[in-house]
Amino acid sequence: MGCDGGTIPRRDELVKTKKKPEQKDKDSERLYRWHHCAVSQAPLKTPVVGCELGRMYNKEEVLTRLLDRASEAGVAHIKGLKDIKELSLTPNPGYVEEGANKGDAYTDHLTARFVCPVTSLEMNGKYRFSFIWTCGCVLSERALKEVPSEVCHKCGQPFTDEDIITLNPPEEELEAMRAAMMARRAAAKAAKKAKKEGKRPAEGENDVSSLTSKAKKMAKFSDGGGPSSEVSGKGSLKVNGVASALLRDKEFDKVRSSGFSVATDPKASEVYKSLFDTHKTAQKKQSAHWVTCNPQYF
């Protein structure tokens, strides 16, 4: 039965105990995120882009998934190129590309490809790094705190505290960064809407300058940008030939009711007048034969 010869069995030899779950190596996991793409798990290679959640991607991988309209969880918050920013990274002069690990030499895995341009700290996951959303420059958190400034230390572009995004943040900071991302997008959308509404004239207001700008834009579709005709009146409204067919507002109705015609405009050229059915060439144009309905003209 055993236990002879003075051997003393241990408890784990007699009683089967439940094994503890395997624990992750936090240092290896953190180092892996700084050297690999967040969506494809491939090694990072320039150009590298970052999102508003602080994740790093290979730009080629992000573009491929945007074109394929892939619905992966890692890129669900990226709807277009406006949601990513290409990172301006500073290469590490002391970095040597690692070859095959033969086991005959010491390999320093903490040596990073990129460093902070101010403090020369390496981007190996040991130190916190951030990038500025307006310019994409990557700086260490120590540089931003010890050398406070309102302009980027690398490119000199101004920025605010809301533009600073932490790279590879811990899990407990993701919710706060997601809320900041939604707030930033909502503010950008509201600013764009306000700018768009500011260009529109108020309802019922005679904005002659806005109508003139519309006519100038539509003049690009005319024959070489034909000259616009001017009608004297209270507002001295300018109406372009092609734009007059599209502008359907109260001011245009007043001009049309006054009997305005391009054919009587002394400033318009004959080539420009020939585009309209009021020209003499259009009035003398032959029609199809009423018996045979033959559309060919001889």
Residues in contact with 212: Cβ distance below 8 Å, sequence separation at least 6, in sequence order: 237, 238
d(CA 54, CA 57): 10
CATH 3.30.40 in the chain, residues? 26-95+109-187
C-beta of residue 208 within 8 angstroms of C-beta of residue 235: yes
pLDDT in tens, the chain (298 residues): 555 666 787 887 788 777 778 777 777 788 888 888 988 888 888 889 999 999 999 999 999 888 888 777 778 888 888 889 999 999 888 877 766 566 666 566 677 888 999 988 888 888 899 999 989 999 999 998 888 888 888 888 899 888 899 999 888 888 888 898 898 889 888 888 888 887 765 544 455 455 455 555 555 544 444 444 444 444 444 444 545 444 555 665 665 666 667 777 777 888 777 777 777 777 666 665 555 555 555 4
C-beta of residue 32 within 8 angstroms of C-beta of residue 51: no
Residues in contact with 177: Cβ distance below 8 Å, sequence separation at least 6, in sequence order: 52, 53, 54, 165, 166, 169
Asked whether the whole model's pTM tops 0.85, one would answer no
The domain made up of 26-95+109-187 has a fold known as: Herpes Virus-1 (3.30.40)
- What integer pLDDT is reported at residue 229 of this predicted model? 41
One-letter amino acid identity for 225?
A: G
Token representation of residue 26: 């936090």
- What integer pLDDT is reported at residue 259 of this predicted model? 65
Token representation of residue 40: 């494809």
Token representation of residue 47: 């150009």
- What integer pLDDT is reported at residue 261 of this predicted model? 74
C-beta of residue 30 within 8 angstroms of C-beta of residue 56: no
Helix, strand or coil, per DSSP, at residue 60: helix
> Which one, of 238, 240, 249, lies nearest residue 220 by Cα?
240
- What integer pLDDT is reported at residue 46 of this predicted model? 86
Alpha-helix runs per DSSP H in the chain: 11-14, 26-35, 59-68, 141-146, 174-199, 208-218, 250-257, 270-273, 280-283
- What integer pLDDT is reported at residue 202 of this predicted model? 52
- What integer pLDDT is reported at residue 138 of this predicted model? 92
- What integer pLDDT is reported at residue 80 of this predicted model? 87
One-letter amino acid identity for 183?
A: A
C-beta of residue 210 within 8 angstroms of C-beta of residue 201: yes
C-beta of residue 16 within 8 angstroms of C-beta of residue 94: no
